[in-house]
Every structure is written in C-alpha cells, then in structure tokens.
Copies of this chain bind each other. A is one copy, B any other.
Amino acid sequence: MTKELLKIIEYKNMGQLSQELQKMNPVDIAKSMELLDDKSLLVVFRLLTKDTSVEVFSYLDKKSQQKIIELITDNELKDIIENLFLDDTVDIIEELPANIVGKVILNTSLEKRQLINQFLKYKEDSAGAIMTIEFVDFKEQMTIKEAINHTRKIGINKESLDNCFIINKERVLKGVISLKDLILSNEEMLVSQVMDTNIVSVKTSEDQEKVAALFKTYDLLSMPVVDNENRLVGIITVDDIVDIIEQENTEDFQKMAGIEPNEEPYLKTPILKLAKNRIIWLLVLMISATFTGAIIQGFEEVLQSVVILASFIPMLMDTGGNSGSQSSTLIIRGLALGEITTKDFFKVIFKEFRVSIVVATVLAVVNFLRLYIFTSADIMISFTVCISLFFTVVLAKVVGGILPIISKKLNLDPAIMASPLITTIVDAFALIVYFGFAKIFLGI
C-alpha cells in the first residue's frame, strides 16, 4: 500500500492520491504515513478530509505526531486539538517533548486546557487516567423519543455511543441504557423505566488492571467512571481495555524473564536502554549465584575425592530450576487472572506437593534407569544423584508454588519477586542435598 502511495506522491498526482486515501482505513493511512519523509507526510496529511485527519492523527506514532505538530500552522493545530478526543490529547501532552507540548497548549482553548489539567492529576494507570469524557447522558425524566433526539443532536462527536448513561440533577449515576435498547424500546416510555440499574462502575482511582478484570468478568463494551460522590465523570471503552490487557501481559512476560518493564516496541528501543533494562537482574542473579559457588567450595573435599559428581550438577540445577519455574508460572498467571487468590495458599501447597511427588518420582526413576543402562556410573553415585533429584524437584515445585502467593500477600509483584528468588533457593538447596547425600552414601 505504502509503495503505491509513494509512487503517486512522486508523480505529484494529488487527485489520484486523494482518491486513494479516501478508500483507505484511517489506521492503514497512519501506518503508511509513518514511513514517509517530512515533506510527503505533510502533503498526505493536508489531503485528508478534516474528520479523517483527526482520526489518522490519533493513530500515528509519537514521532510522526510530533513532526506534524511542528510542521502545521497554528490554525491547523487548533482544529485538530479541538476535535481530538480528550484522552488522546492528554496522551500527547504526557508523552511529547516540552517544546511540542508548548505549541499544543498555546493552541488549546481555555475550557479544554482546564479539562486536561484535571486529567493530568489522575494517577498513571488509574481509571481516571484512561477514561474519556466523550459520552452521552440523559436525565431520568426523558422519554425514549427525547433521548434519541438528544443523542442525534449531541452524539456526533461522542467516542462511544454503545451505552448511554442516566444521571440525576446532581449528576449521580442512576442507570445505563444501551443504544440497542434505546432503538428497540417503545418511544413513549421513560428512559428510567427501560434503563438497567444494575451498573458495573469504577471510581477514578481504581487501578487499570482491576478495571480490565471487570470488563472480562462482565463482557462489557464500556464502563462508567464515577467520583467519590458517585457522580458520572467519564467512561472507559473496551478498545482501550484490549490495549491495557496486552500491555499488562507484556509487562508480566518481561518481569518474569528478569527485565525491567518497557512499553516501547523492541525494534524501536535504543541499545543502551535495552541493556540497562536487562543488566540489573543479571547482576543480582550473578551475585546471588556466588552463594551457590560458596556451597560447592564448602564441599571441595567431596568433589576432590569423587570428581565425577561435578558432572551431574548442571542436570540437577536445570531440572530443579525448570520444575520451579513451571509451578511459579502457573501460580503467577493464576493470580493475574484472578483464578487463584492469596486465600488459596494451603490449597496450592498441597496441590504442588502432590504434583511434585508424581513428577519427581518419574524423573528420578527414569534418570536412574538411564544411568544404569547407558552409562558405567557407580550404582551408589547414581542413587545419590537420583535421590537428590527427587528432593530438589519436590522443593522446587512447592517453593515455586508458594513464593508468588507470599509476594502477593506482601504487596510485592509476584512476577518480579518470584522467579529470581526461586532460582537461588533451588540451586542452593539442590547442592546441599546432593553433597550431603554424597557424604552419607559414598562414605566420604
């Protein structure tokens, strides 16, 4: 698509370009524009109709938004800002450099500036920060017909019309009515007779993860946001929730791999930032592995007399580590999805204990047979390896199961705290058990 566009731009055939643009989806126009040079970017942007240009602008990446703000006139900018949804405007102000923000603020009406200021006060990742104020509200005493006419009059610029909200004189939220029910109901009825009073709403301070969970539980398309007096102040729409779910998942993947969470796409993140995000946990884990090294040094005389013991250390540690991370992943995910709560502490311990007995027995037996059949390993050494393997796997799974729950209980992030700690605990335990058993069974 972009290649064709580029060709048309080169030939300076503005009529054709404008025609092509009209056939395209605003998301696709935005994606193509991100690849253009400054001059072509401005040419294409100015060819868009007014409505489309605002929509395309909201889909552009930060770099292209910044370029356009720099290149267009104050009047053009004014038009865009006034027609942008408030949440998009706030995003721009939060994420663009100060000089750009300056130009934006200068071209924003006083009324909108005040709204923006109010938005900037909401905590990041709270319902207030992700909501939008473009919604349709009705008074309780309106009839369906009046409500439809009211919607026709003011609805053109509203971001979400799937649900409309009914408020009283004090703007307290009383009910919700879907556009579908509005159309399907008898025109003479009052909205208060048709509205659903069973409302799932959140306070502005609610965390976005909780909000996303409510959307999932109740299959919502939009959700009203209220202040402490239960007055309607905004709505959250499901398309933003989809983004938030993916963002929270990405963060969890990163944290569980020992990386500082970072929202930027990989290919657009600078080398040094990527390195910085990774180095901290690697250093922590490297230093903590010193501990494991010290244990091995403590058993130097055991190793000295039976050097072959060293060759089983990687297998023991890897299998222990894998066993533990299987359990911690399942529990961390269960906690994130709300399928497991901290109240399930003992259920999880007991479950992991039973699972680990099954898994550890299979692993130990298979490993013993493998050593017996395929290698010439001393039978007492094989026995030492396998019994250590058994205890390591059981401990790894139980620790892997409970550490995330303990983290959650202590209000620490299970995804961050659990994995690195498990590695250290399991490694140390595996070695102590291993050399301990070696001393006993091999009589060193």
Question: Once the chains bind, are A279 and B359 in contact (CB under 8 Å)?
Answer: yes
A274 within 8 A of B: yes
Query: Inside 8 A of A300's CB, which chain B residues have their CB?
Result: 307-308, 311
A259 within 8 A of B: yes
Query: Inside 8 A of A330's CB, which chain B residues have their CB?
Result: 254, 257, 259, 266
Q: Say which one of A39-47, A122-130, A176-184, A223-231 lies at the interface with B.
A: A176-184
* Residue picked from A156, A200, A239, most chain B C-beta under 10 Å: A239
Contact of A267 with B344 at beta-carbon distance under 8 Å, contacts A221-B221, A290-B370, A308-B300 already known = yes
Question: Once the chains bind, are A221 and B162 in contact (CB under 8 Å)?
Answer: yes
Question: Once the chains bind, are A25 and B218 in contact (CB under 8 Å)?
Answer: yes
A362 nearest CB across to chain B (Å): 6
Question: Once the chains bind, are B239 and A329 in contact (CB under 8 Å)?
Answer: no
Contact mask A202-220 → B, CB, 8 Å, 1/0? 0000000000000111111
Interface residues of A in 26-47 (CB under 8 A from B): 27
Query: Inside 8 A of A289's CB, which chain B residues have their CB?
Result: 314-315, 318-319
Query: Inside 8 A of A217's CB, which chain B residues have their CB?
Result: 27
Query: Inside 8 A of A379's CB, which chain B residues have their CB?
Result: none
| A221–B162 alpha-carbon span in the complex (Å) | 10
A423 within 8 A of B: yes
Interface residues of A in 238-259 (CB under 8 A from B): 238-239, 241-243, 245-246, 249-250, 252-254, 256-259
A382 within 8 A of B: no
A15 within 8 A of B: no
Query: Inside 8 A of A362's CB, which chain B residues have their CB?
Result: 275, 279, 283
Interface residues of A in 305-352 (CB under 8 A from B): 307-308, 310-315, 317-319, 321-323, 325-326, 329-334, 337, 339-340, 344, 347-348, 351
Question: Once the chains bind, are A254 and B329 in contact (CB under 8 Å)?
Answer: yes
Query: Inside 8 A of A293's CB, which chain B residues have their CB?
Result: 311-312, 314-315
Question: Once the chains bind, are B303 and A310 in contact (CB under 8 Å)?
Answer: yes
| A151–B180 alpha-carbon span in the complex (Å) | 9
A119 within 8 A of B: no
Contact of A23 with B198 at beta-carbon distance under 8 Å, contacts A183-B152, A289-B319 already known = yes
A265 within 8 A of B: yes
Report how many copies the assembly holds.
2
A354 within 8 A of B: yes
Question: Once the chains bind, are A322 and B242 in contact (CB under 8 Å)?
Answer: no
| A183–B178 alpha-carbon span in the complex (Å) | 13
A232 nearest CB across to chain B (Å): 19
Question: Once the chains bind, are A337 and B246 in contact (CB under 8 Å)?
Answer: yes
| A339–B393 alpha-carbon span in the complex (Å) | 37
* Residue picked from A252, A279, A344, most chain B C-beta under 10 Å: A279
Query: Inside 8 A of A323's CB, which chain B residues have their CB?
Result: 278, 282
A189 within 8 A of B: no
A98 within 8 A of B: no
| A355–B266 alpha-carbon span in the complex (Å) | 12
Contact of A151 with B183 at beta-carbon distance under 8 Å, contacts A278-B326, A370-B287 already known = yes
Question: Once the chains bind, are B266 and A292 in contact (CB under 8 Å)?
Answer: no
Query: Inside 8 A of A93's CB, which chain B residues have their CB?
Result: none
| A429–B295 alpha-carbon span in the complex (Å) | 24
Question: Once the chains bind, are B161 and A180 in contact (CB under 8 Å)?
Answer: yes
Q: Which 6 pairs across A and B sit closest by C-beta, in order of nearness?
A: A257-B329, A289-B315, A296-B311, A219-B239, A275-B358, A161-B180
A-B contact pairs, 17 of them (CB 8 A): A219-B239, A253-B329, A254-B329, A257-B325, A258-B325, A278-B323, A281-B322, A282-B319, A286-B315, A286-B363, A289-B314, A289-B315, A289-B318, A293-B315, A296-B314, A300-B307, A318-B427
Interface residues of A (CB under 8 A from B): 23-25, 27, 148, 151-152, 155-156, 161-162, 179-180, 182-184, 198, 200, 215-221, 238-239, 241-243, 245-246, 249-250, 252-254, 256-259, 265-267, 271-272, 274-275, 278-279, 281-283, 285-287, 289-290, 292-294, 296-297, 300, 303-304, 307-308, 310-315, 317-319, 321-323, 325-326, 329-334, 337, 339-340, 344, 347-348, 351, 354-355, 358-359, 362-363, 366-367, 370, 393, 423, 427, 431
